[in-house]
Amino acid sequence: MYLLWLRVATILYGAACITLFPAVFYGIVRWRKTCVHLGGMAFFFHFISVVEMLVQAHRWMPVGGREIESLLGFTVAGLFFLVWWLYDAISLGIFALPATFFLVIVPALGPGRYLFPSAGVRTSWLAAHIVALVLAYAALCFSLLASVLYLVQERRIKAKPRPGKNSPWAPLNWLPALGTLERIAQATLEFGFPCMTVGLVIGSILAQETSAGTAYFRNPNVIASFAMWGVYVLLLLLRRSAGLSGRKIAYVSGAVLVAMMAVWVVNLFSQLNRFGPQ
Distances 31 to 38, 83, 111, 147 between C-alpha atoms, Å: 10, 19, 34, 30
Contact partners, residue 200, CB within 8 Å, separation at least 6:
102, 225, 226, 229
Neighbours of 59 (CB within 10 A): 11
Burial string for 234-265 (b: 16+ CB within 10 Å, else e) reads ebbbbbbeeebeeeebbebbbebbeebeebbe
pLDDT tens sequence across 150-166: 888 888 777 776 665 56
What number of helices (H) and strands (E) belong to the chain?
Answer: 8, 0
Distances 173 to 113, 149, 155, 220 between C-alpha atoms, Å: 58, 12, 13, 45
pLDDT tens sequence across 124-136: 988 998 899 889 8
pLDDT tens sequence across 233-265: 887 877 766 555 666 767 777 777 777 777 767
- Mean pLDDT value across residues 15-38: 89
pLDDT at 41: 96
pLDDT at 272: 47
